[in-house]
Amino acid sequence: MKRNGIYFWIGAALFLAGAMLMTQVIGNQYPFFACYVILQFIVLAVAWSILGGYAGYVNFGTSAFFGVGVYTAVFLFKATGVPLAVQIAAAAAVGALMGFALGLLTLRMQGIFFSIATIAATIIIETAITNWRYVGGASGIQLQRPAVMAPFDNYVEMLFFVQAVMVVLAVAISRYIQNSWIGRGLQALKDDELAAECTGVPTLRLKLTACVISGALMCAAGAPAAMYLQYADPASAFNLNYSVSALAMSLIGGTAHWAGPVIGAILLGVTQQLLTVTISSEVNVLVLGVMLVLFVVAAPEGIIGLIRKVRSKRNEGEG
């Protein structure tokens, strides 16, 4: 366990060093544009699976959290011009509050009812933002990027690195939850909430914890998006595509292990980027759907499940 931890942090450090090196070496802007989106989806998928995977509460409201993250940043930037780090931290705080509210919802709603409620919440929040003139309303808002900071010579490169840091943060949190008593408690309540409660698991507290962390990460992931596009509008910030992608990436990767959503997000994110460039941005939605159907039918436990199955078969063969 300890050695695993060391490997994990070495891997994380190498990943960040690699990202930093990329910003210093590569001159072309496109890789950063593309990789930023993939990194963003890793954060969203990992955050989604903390609630949807570990606790089994399927949240269709990823786009609500993402959009609120975007608009928290937009509002703060327009009102005060605070730096990006503050925008992200504020978005995380707002996301945590939203997550708390979502967690209270689990008291009364489970299964499909919870999922439907999250879709409803998304629509309500989007409608509210659409009617908020200060942040641009339905027509959206143009944003002027501020000057870029020291080691980076381009704003997108900086955003790319910031998102890479968030990936490490999200994965580290998810991994910690999985390996700790929180993870065991969430797994128990996912299997059977009443039995978990009667075995001493504080189900409500754990669900609230999962919702708060998941919500904070999703909102934080959305905060830099406004600066990335230099533009924000409700229809794209609250696009259902974020919800579907985060869910699909987690399920395709497998929710039983923290690495699942990472694998799923990289696989689907890269595919989407390739398709967007080579065919069209509409086809990637279709491909997402087809892949999700294929995995649900052929490998319901996702890629992680496939790997485990192969491993256990090999072990049986040896034993």
Partner 1 sequence: MAPETQAPLLRISALTKRFGGFTALDNVSVDIPPGQRFGLIGPNGSGKTTLINCISGAFRTEPGTVTFRDEDITRLPPHIRTRRGIARSFQIPRPFRSMTVAENLMVGLDFAADTSVIVSEAHRREAMMSILTRMGLASKANVSATKLSQVELRKMELARAMATHPKLLISDEAMAGLSSSEVDEVLDLLMSLADQDITIIMIEHIMQAVMRFSERVMCLEAGKIIAIGTPDEVMSNQRVQEAYLGT
Q: Which residues bind partner 1 (CB under 8 A)?
A: 181, 184-185, 187-188, 190-192, 194-204, 256
Closest approach, Cβ 138 to partner 1, in A, equals: 45
Give residue 65's Cα distance to chain centre.
10
Residue number, 111 or 146, with CB nearest to partner 1: 111
Number of C-beta neighbours around residue 283 at 10 A: 13
Q: How far is the CB of 198 from partner 1 (least distance, A)?
A: 5
Nearer to partner 1, 240 or 256 (CB): 256
Q: Are 61 and 116 contacting, i.e. CB atoms less than 8 angstroms apart?
A: no
Instruction: Decide whether 53 or 67 has the Cβ nearer to partner 1.
Output: 53
- Residues facing residue 142 across a β-bridge: 231
Pick 75 or 258: Cβ nearer partner 1: 258
Coil, helix or strand at residue 118: helix
The answer to whether 74 and 225 have CB atoms below 8 angstroms apart is no
- Which CB, 93 or 204, lies closer to partner 1? 204
* Shortest Å, Cβ 5 to partner 1: 15
Contact call for residues 302 and 251 (beta carbons, < 8 A): yes
Q: Which is nearer to partner 1, 195 or 274 (CB)?
A: 195
Q: How far apart are CA 256 and CA 22, in angstroms?
A: 32
- What does residue 191 show for φ and ψ, rounded to 5 degrees? -70, -45
* Smallest distance from partner 1 to CB 194, Å: 6
Report in angstroms how near the CB of residue 8 gets to partner 1 at its nearest.
19
State the Cα angle at 264 between 267 and 231, rounded to 5°.
Answer: 80
Closer of 127 and 312 to partner 1 (Cβ) = 312
Give dist(CA 3, CA 265) in Å, integer: 26
The distance of closest approach from Cβ of residue 302 to partner 1 in the complex, given in angstroms and rounded to an integer, is 14
* Least distance in angstroms from the C-beta of 4 to partner 1: 15
Write down the H helix ranges in the chain. Answer: 2-25, 30-49, 62-79, 84-105, 111-130, 155-179, 181-191, 193-197, 203-222, 225-229, 234-237, 240-253, 259-278, 283-298, 302-318
